[in-house]
């Protein structure tokens, strides 16, 4: 393609909210035949909401959520924000609820949070976080987790002083059109895989809903990079689509990194292409634009 064609292609992209950072990115996009998708905030809306709570101990819902919110209010994680939002709604009678002080707050990346609130040790997170603290998970809680994951929701355990006291179900639905995008990519002979930090049960249910056959769950950020590199070594031209700080190394490693516009600044900086409207359809727009620009000289 001539420099003018590249300029035109980049301009057309920009006018549609697909920000292409340079000619190399525009050229590589047409060759993409494997796409690694992050889950939360990429395939899903990314605004999780608490939809159900089950308590196992004799504790009032309001009191329970006061302890949990006091812990999670220190978290930057979307799940933490969802929990605090819910706790606030339980206290709509108060103008701006003040949570009790949390001491020794700790965020365990990819697992959850813990703190000391009202002299109680509060731990909020996934199963492995409980097991790491030698907290046993009652059968009722295990069963509830399975039901939650089957519905493509995320189950969060709450332990108070070493005992699982409640399970929260958090829902983060698929973006509208996500399923269609995956199916169109399939027809374009582009393979898709989902890589997420969330648990296997939820990840598989979401993958089934969106129509992705290949899943890696409970993945740490370097596993996202490893997957990208592994696919490249197998001869694929790989795009990564993500929104989180966790995704940034994989966005850099990919042949084409695509960041969701509503994502974190770090992901947007790491990417070659930014999907300003945060729509998944724009993944296809970017590939099409690249094909149109670079087929002119063939």
> Would you tell me the crossing angle of helices 139-150 and 200-210 to the nearest 10 degrees?
20
Minimum CB separation from Mg ion for residue 194, in Å?
A: 11
Q: Which does 112 bind (CB under 5 to 8 A by kind): Mg ion, ligand ADP, none?
A: ligand ADP
| Cα–Cα distance measured from residue 159 to residue 135, given in angstroms and rounded to the nearest whole number | 8
**Per CB under 6 A, 126 contacts ligand ADP:** yes
Count of residues binding ligand ADP (CB under 6 A)?
19
Is residue 42 part of the contact set for ligand ADP (CB under 6 A)? no
79 near ligand ADP (CB under 6 A): yes
Instruction: Return the residue matching tokens 């001539």.
Output: 2
- Out of 10, 40, 53, 199, which residue is the one contacting Mg ion (CB under 5 A)? 40
Using the rule CB under 6 A, is 154 a contact of ligand ADP?
yes
Q: How far, in Å, CA of 156 to CA of 173, rounded?
A: 17
Active site residue 222: no
Segment 223 to 252, residues that bind Mg ion, using CB under 5 A: 243-244
Closest by alpha carbon to 269, among 292, 293, 249?
249
Which of 40, 165, 192, 278 lies at the binding interface for ligand ADP (CB under 6 A)?
40
Instruction: Output the six-digit token pair for 164.
Output: 């699982």
Least CB distance to ligand ADP at residue 154 (A): 5
Q: Report the residue closest to ligand ADP, judged by CB.
A: 197
- Contact between 200 and 218 (Cβ < 8 Å): yes
* Whether the Cβ atoms of residue 43 and residue 159 lie closer than 8 Å to each other: no
The reply on whether position 264 binds ligand ADP by CB under 6 A is no
Which of the listed partners (Mg ion, ligand ADP, none) does 156 bind, with a CB threshold of 5 to 8 Å by partner kind?
ligand ADP
Asked whether 153 and 171 are in contact (CB, 8 A), the reply is yes
**What burial class does residue 31 get, using C-beta atoms within 10 Å of its C-beta: 0-12 exposed, 13-18 middle, 19+ buried?**
middle
Backbone angles phi, psi at 259, to 5 degrees: -100, 140
Give the binding site for Mg ion (CB under 5 A).
Answer: 38, 40-41, 243-244
> Contact positions toward ligand ADP, by CB under 6 A?
39-40, 72, 75, 77, 79-80, 110-113, 124-126, 154, 156, 196-198
């Amino acid at each position: 393609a001539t420099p003018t064609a590249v300029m035109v292609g980049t301009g057309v992209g920009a006018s549609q909210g697909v920000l292409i950072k340079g000619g190399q990115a525009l050229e590589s996009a047409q060759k993409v035949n494997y796409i690694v998708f992050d889950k939360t905030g990429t395939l899903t809306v990314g605004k999780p909401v608490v939809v159900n709570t089950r308590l196992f101990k004799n504790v009032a819902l309001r009191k329970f959520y006061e302890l949990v919110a006091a812990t999670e209010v220190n978290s930057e994680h979307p799940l933490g924000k969802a929990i605090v939002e819910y706790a606030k709604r339980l206290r709509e009678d108060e103008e701006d609820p003040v949570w009790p002080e949390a001491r020794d707050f700790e965020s365990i990346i990819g697992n959850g949070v813990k703190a000391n609130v009202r002299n109680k040790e509060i731990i909020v997170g996934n199963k492995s976080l409980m097991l790491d603290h030698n907290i046993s998970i009652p059968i009722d809680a295990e069963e509830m987790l399975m039901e939650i994951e089957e519905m493509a929701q995320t189950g969060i355990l709450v332990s108070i002083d070493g005992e699982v006291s409640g399970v929260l179900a958090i829902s983060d639905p698929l973006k509208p059109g996500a399923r269609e995008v995956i199916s169109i990519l399939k027809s374009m002979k582009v393979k898709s895989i989902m890589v997420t930090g969330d648990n296997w049960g939820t990840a598989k249910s979401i993958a089934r809903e969106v129509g992705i056959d290949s899943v890696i769950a409970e993945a740490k950020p370097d596993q996202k990079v490893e997957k990208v590199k592994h696919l490249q070594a197998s001869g694929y031209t790989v795009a990564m689509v993500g929104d989180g700080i966790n995704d940034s190394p994989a966005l850099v490693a990919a042949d084409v990194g695509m960041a969701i516009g509503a994502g974190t600044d770090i992901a947007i900086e790491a990417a070659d292409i930014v999907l300003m409207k945060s729509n998944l359809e724009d993944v296809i727009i970017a590939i099409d634009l690249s094909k149109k620009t670079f087929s002119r000289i063939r």
